[in-house]
């Protein structure tokens, strides 16, 4: 039994440290991210606006029942009586107690009401805008997940470079101290090496903190803790964006970006709301009917209520004549709101154009930057080797050696950051072009080292 428990514990421990890939992180985020959950709930709630607005156009019906206990004592009541074959009016005292029951059933149907009709059409158009809002939130979740994931990898790479730099500078410090002890160098070289090490150590602490923070961001997104994620492979196809013309990306954004489509739908909804407000000046026609069954409000000579039923049906036509200027104010306000929605749509289009063009150029720059940063590593390593050789023969000092080492690790960090910048900028470009999808997450997942 002990052996079995030990084996189970070992298996659980090995599973706990298994690196999660981007697809796994995205699945967790899609299920647990509070922001996307709120967006879905908001979308579902707003969908009922159509049902609410449609209700004003459909039949309305109400039923009510009233039970009233009445105790009356009337003195000097005027009643009619038959005396000797003749009807005479006499004064009488009436004392009665009775229960009155009344059942009322009423119904109505709007025949003509442009205000309700336009409000219903505005609600339908607004529902399309809410659907686009959810679509945008889902695409933003893709970008937020990828950003959080590669921020972890960025922090890990920066930490690895900082650790290697700290160890290398530490070894140089130890060698410098040894050379000083045998009288080969001056004490100033030791001080320079110590200062360089202190800075490297402080940088290392900062990188460790940045990694912890990046994991916290990942936990906030997914709702669970991850201790390891799959790294990016050394060689991945980071190429120029396709299509190769910024104009094609702009055209795609104008047609597909949810933000623009949402602004267009919002403009249409505001236009319909303007029409609804204008129609407040027009007449409305309503068909109504009612059925009453029970004791009536009138009583007979004995003080008892009449019992019976009443059926009524009619058509009501109403039209506002004067509302103190409020209808005029509402109409002008709605017109200005429509104008504002038109300006907002234009602003959205301009912003998307600018973002797409800027991101397109940035991705192009990132591709060239990656190649340059990779070559810079080779150059920095060659420079370090030459500087160390010069230091050994006395033509270079310790400061130059330490600077050369830092240049190597800085080149490695810049190369790693350039690759992550390319990925995030490309995804952001696709977001504004309206083409970002789960397929992009699956593609990026193939760029990772398999767990």
How far apart, in Å, are the Cα atoms of 124 and each of 36, 50, 59? 23, 6, 19
24-49 pLDDT tens trace: 999 999 999 999 999 999 999 999 99
Whether the per-residue pLDDT at 88 is higher than 90: the answer is: no
Mean of per-residue pLDDT scores for the chain: 87
Q: How far is CA 201 from CA 307, 334, 400, 413, in A?
A: 98, 63, 19, 16
Of 188, 189, 193, 191, nearest in space to 173 by CA: 193
CB 207 within 8 A of CB 152: no
Task: Indicate the class that CATH gives domain 19-66+112-284+325-445.
Answer: mainly alpha
pLDDT in tens, 258-304: 999 999 999 999 999 999 999 998 999 999 999 988 766 655 555 56
| pLDDT tens string 183-214 | 878 888 889 888 988 998 998 999 999 999 99
Read off the pLDDT of each residue in 104-124 and give the average, rounded to a whole number: 94
Domain coordinates in residue numbering, the chain: 19-66+112-284+325-445
DSSP string covering 325-350: THHHHHHHHHHHHHHHHHHHHHHHHH
Q: Are 289 and 312 within 8 A, CB to CB?
A: yes
> Quick check: 106 pLDDT over 70?
yes
Are the CB atoms for 438 and 176 separated by under 8 Å? no
Give the pLDDT confidence of 331-357 residue by residue, as tens digits.
999 999 999 999 999 999 999 999 999
Query: Does pTM top 0.95 for this prediction?
Result: no
Read off the pLDDT band of 111 (50, 70, 90). very high
DSSP character for 58?
A: S
Average pLDDT of 142-171? 92
Q: What is the pLDDT of residue 180?
A: 85
């Amino acid at each position: 039994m002990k052996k079995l428990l030990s084996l189970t514990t070992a298996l659980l421990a090995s599973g706990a440290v298994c690196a999660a890939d981007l697809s796994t992180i995205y699945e967790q985020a899609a299920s647990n991210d509070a922001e996307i959950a709120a967006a879905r709930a908001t979308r579902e709630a707003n969908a009922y606006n159509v049902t609410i607005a449609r209700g004003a156009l459909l039949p309305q019906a109400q039923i009510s029942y009233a039970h009233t206990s009445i105790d009356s004592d009337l003195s000097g009541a005027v009643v009619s009586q038959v005396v000797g074959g003749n009807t005479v009016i006499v004064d009488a005292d009436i004392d009665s107690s009775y229960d009155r029951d009344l059942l009322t059933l009423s119904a109505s149907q709007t025949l003509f009401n442009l205000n309700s009709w336009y409000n219903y059409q505005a609600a339908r158009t607004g529902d399309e805008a809410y659907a686009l809002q959810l679509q945008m939130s889902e695409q933003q979740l893709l970008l937020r997940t990828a950003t959080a994931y590669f921020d972890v990898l960025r922090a890990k790479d920066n930490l690895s470079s900082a650790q290697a730099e700290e160890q290398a500078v530490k070894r140089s410090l130890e060698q410098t101290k040894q050379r000083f002890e045998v009288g080969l160098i001056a004490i100033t070289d030791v001080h320079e090496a110590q200062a360089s090490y202190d800075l490297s150590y402080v940088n290392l602490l900062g990188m460790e903190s940045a990694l912890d923070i990046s994991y916290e961001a990942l936990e906030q997104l997914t709702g669970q803790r991850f201790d390891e994620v799959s790294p990016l492979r050394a060689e991945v196809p980071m190429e120029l964006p396709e299509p190769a013309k910024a104009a094609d990306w702009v055209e795609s954004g104008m047609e597909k970006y949810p933000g623009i489509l949402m602004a267009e739908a919002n403009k249409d909804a505001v236009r319909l709301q303007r029409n609804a407000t204008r129609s407040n000046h027009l007449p409305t026609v309503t068909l109504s009917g009612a059925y009453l069954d029970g004791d009536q409000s009138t009583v007979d000579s004995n003080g008892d209520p009449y019992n019976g039923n009443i059926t009524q049906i009619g058509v009501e036509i109403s039209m506002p004549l004067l509302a103190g200027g409020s209808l005029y104010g509402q109409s002008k306000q709605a017109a200005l709101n429509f104008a504002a929605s038109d300006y907002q749509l234009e602003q959205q289009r301009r912003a998307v154009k600018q973002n797409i063009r800027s991101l397109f150029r940035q991705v192009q720059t990132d591709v060239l930057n990656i190649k340059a940063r990779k070559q810079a590593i080779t150059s920095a390593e060659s420079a370090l080797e030459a500087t160390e050789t010069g230091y050994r023969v006395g033509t270079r000092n310790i400061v130059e050696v330490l600077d050369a080492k830092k240049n190597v690790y800085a080149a490695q960090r810049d190369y790693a950051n350039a690759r992550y910048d390319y990925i995030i900028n490309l995804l952001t470009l696709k977001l504004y072009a309206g083409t970002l999808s789960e397929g992009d997450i699956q593609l990026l997942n193939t760029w990772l080292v398999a767990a």
